[in-house]
Structure 1
Amino acid sequence: MQASAPAAEELDREIERRLAELAALIERFTAEDGMHATVVKGMSLIRASRPSEPLHTVYKPMVCLIAQGRKQVMLADEVVVYDPARYLVVTVDLPLVGQVLVASRERPYLCLALDLEPGDVGALLTEPGLPRPSAASGGEREERGLFVSRTDLPLIDAALRLIRLLETPHDIPILAPLAVREIHYRLLKGEQGARVQRIALAGSQAQRIAKAISMVKSNYTRPLRIEAIAREVHMSPSALHHQFKAVTAMSPLQYQKQLRLQEARRLMLGEVVDAATAGYRVGYESPSQFSREYSRLFGAPPSRDVARLRSMLGSRSAMG
């Protein structure tokens, strides 16, 4: 035990050094706060110079690796916190509430986010050195569609190789797929690799739930037809309801409601439509029901909430 302590301390110091390098690169390629798409397909860089308000948005399958700062996401009533020591993986489309907890102008929140494509993850599952995928089973128990896991040195190194390519754009077409593949490999070899596997296992319970989520998401303005979705994904309505909630922490109807209300908020804020019009466009027939459910999710009626957001955005813009 004593002999391994210095080695463990040196490993921790090396992880800190690599995270500092990752933070410096993210800061270099993000001139201002916000989410910045990059020329590397699927990779975004996020920067925030102050703690944020809770932000409702739909996360797609991705890995989020924080180099500096701390953030939390809420799924229904569950809170997940991640930081440089713990990365976040989202395995299905989820309506989450994200909030940057630790950030300042001197030490901004800095994060690298990479989309996880089922086909790319699946291409690795037959490679030697990885645990064999577990056979799909109708009785398999599903887990939440997001988790945090311990950040290790090989994963940080793979992320560094990917972000360094922004310095040599001509290398991106050849080398970026290799770096992305290594990140997928490191996730699959990590503590919760079995959960990453489920992103890509065709015919698995996880894939059926992912398909059901996609169907709800694609048709969120229409009345929800659980029986039709259940038939499409080859599950009974009761099994679909149970497994859907196991993955998303909400029923299909609650999931649809989150999508509707988030889109209505975006419409009112970005396209300057009134509450009645926004509610109608996302599938509500009753303005009073829309207002009640909007207030329940966002904490204020539509007009007051949007006015607050506009005021907040305006003050931040004036501050630069």
Structure 2
Amino acid sequence: MKHLASLISRHTPGDGMFDTAVPGMALIRQGQPTERIPVLHQPAVCIIAQGAKVVMLGDETYRYDADSHLVVSVDLPLTGQVTEASPERPYLCLRIDLEPALLMALMTERPPPPGSEGSRGVHLSRTTPELAGAGARMVQLLDAPEHAETLAPMIRREIHYWLLTGDQAGVVRQIGAPDSRLSHVARAIAWIRDNYDRPFSIASVAREAGMSPSALHQHFKAVTAMSPLQYQKQIRLQEARRLMLSEACDAQGAGFQVGYDSPSQFSREYVRLFGTPPGRDAARLRSAGMPTAAV
């Protein structure tokens, strides 16, 4: 972990999340604890090399540090907060996007041992030396970019392999299995994300997911800890926040763009999620230079 922390520190010029020249790999650094930051987290494994973080999914809290890593198996609206960080010992994290096709190929070549399927779309596991070592070698490719194109796919494959053989295997297996409950829920999530700004019925989403309405509601909540309508609301509000911060949209315009006909309803629901009215929240974040991406 010390080696991985040293590599991440060397390749992060300051605080924030940095995409790298290796596709699907990002490095995160924070020199002090952060406030709670709602984000839409895509499927990925996040390996902390130094510091600690708390992630919240609905009312559930997950804390992880250099002894553990986080696996997110579907697009989830999470709230993240770095809890242990300082200028002398910053929070340092490696994020690798997960690839369903690669997981499926690995499972075809070597079927994993039987085990229970995980339900939640987020899972904490102990970080093994093998996984940490593969992560360090992935980051080390930034020092030898001429080799990255050849070696990165091999190391990425190794990381996916260790995830398939670890104690989070039940969750990861479902990502690569096209007929798993998680894959059906992921199709529903993709449809809601593409159509978040307009009303929908559970029946229409269930058809897209290839499930009955009752099964969709049950499995959707098991994976995301919320109903499809609650999920849509989170997506709408996070997109409205992005519009105000990234595109200088005013609060009323942002609300209309994401599907709210009533400014007062938009403001009430925004306050419930972010704790502050939309216009005031956007102004505060701009002045503080707060990130809106996962940290």
Equivalent in the alignment of 1:264: 240
Q: Which residue, out of 231, 239, 245, partners 1:255?
A: 231
Match of 2:217 among 241, 245, 250: 241
Give, in angstroms, the shift of residue 272 of structure 1.
1.7
Compute the displacement of 1:133 (Å): 6.5
The AA in structure 2 aligned to 1:24 is S
Whole-angstrom distance in 1 between the partners of 2:43 and 2:114: 19
SS at match of 1:107: coil
Identity of aligned residues (%): 56
1:90 corresponds to which residue?
72
Match of 1:222 in 2: 198
How far, CA to CA, are the matches of 2:155 and 2:283 in structure 1?
A: 44
Q: Verify: 1:295 aligned to 2:271, yes or no.
A: yes
Q: Deviations over 1:89-131 (max 9, x none)?
A: 0000000011110001100000000000101111100223x52
Mapping 1:10-159, distance limit 5 Å:
19-128=1-110, 130-132=111-113, 143-159=119-135
Code of the aligned partner of 1:256: Q
Count of residue pairs the alignment pairs up? 291
TM-score by length of 2: 0.95
Contact 1:142 1:243 in 2 (8 A): no
Tell me which amino acid in the other structure corresponds to 2:87.
Answer: R
Q: Note the alpha carbon deviations across 1:150-197, whole angstroms, 9 max, x for none.
A: 011111111111111111111111110000000000111101212111
* Larger relative contact order (CA 8 Å, sep ≥ 6): 2
Distance 1:227 1:154 in 2: 44
Do 2:118 and 2:171's aligned partners in 1 also have CA atoms closer than 8 Å? no
Aligned to 1:64, what secondary structure does the other structure show? strand
Contact 2:117 2:170 in 1 (8 A): no
Shift of 1:311: 2.6
Q: Aligned equivalents of 2:117 and 2:27: distance in 1?
A: 34
2:158 to 179, 182, 190: 182
Q: Is the 8 A contact 1:125 1:133 kept in 2?
A: no
Equivalent in the alignment of 2:169 = 193
Cα distance, 1:142 vs structure 2: 5.8
The alpha-carbon deviation at position 132 of structure 1 amounts to: 4.6
Deviation at 1:141, TM superposition (A): 7.2
- Which residue number corresponds to residue 4 of structure 1? none
- Answer whether contact 1:126 1:132 (CA < 8 A) is retained: no
Gap change, CA 1:141 and 1:194, over 3 Å in 2: closer
Residues 142/157 of structure 1: CA separation in 2 closer, same or farther (3 Å cut): closer
Q: Is the 8 A contact 2:117 2:171 kept in 1?
A: no
- TM-score, normalised to structure 1, is 0.88
Structure 1 residue 202: deviation in Å? 1.0
The structural deviation recorded for 1:213 is: 0.7
CA positional deviation for 1:278: 0.5
User: For 1:205, which of 172, 181, 188 is the aligned residue?
Assistant: 181
**Coordinate RMSD, CA, aligned:** 1.6
Aligned equivalent of 2:145: 169
Aligned position for 1:8: none
Q: Distance in 1 between matches of 2:63 and 2:96?
A: 18
Deviation at residue 279 of structure 1 after TM alignment: 0.3
Q: Residue 5 of structure 1 aligns with which residue? A: none
